[in-house]
Amino acid sequence: MADILIISHSSQIAEGTKALVEQMAKDVTIHASGGVDGGIGTNIDQISEMLDSIEDDTLCFYDIGSSLMNLEMAVEMYEGPHAVHISNAPIVEGSFLAGVESSVGSTVEDILKKLNEMKK
């Protein structure tokens, strides 16, 4: 089962998306990072900490601008044993699809194929 990482400029978007996916995919581990010091932004240190805590191959979703840049930098620095995939699918729809598919036993490769069919 794949872990899911959600990166947003807004803590409410990150946590709300996480809550949505958790309701439909209870056994999937979902990490969320959003906002900086109570405001809008993303934080590479938060993303790196989440990557260090993943327990399986991971599918990552982001919203806009620097969230992708910080996510890519964190993934480049990640030295853990698990594969980390960044999806270009929409953050809510993509993470939802990934969570549900992972919860029913789909492979990461199959999930990535379905995500690639989505347009941002």
Question: Is the distance from CB of 42 to CB of 117 less than 8 angstroms?
Answer: no
82 is catalytic: no
Residue 31 phi/psi, 5-degree rounding, is: -110, 145
Task: Give the chain's count of helices (H) and strands (E).
Answer: 5, 4
Whole-Å CA distances, 51 to 24, 25, 104, 112:
23, 20, 23, 19
Q: Indicate which residue of 9, 31, 82, 85 is catalytic.
A: 9
Catalytic residues, by residue number, are 9
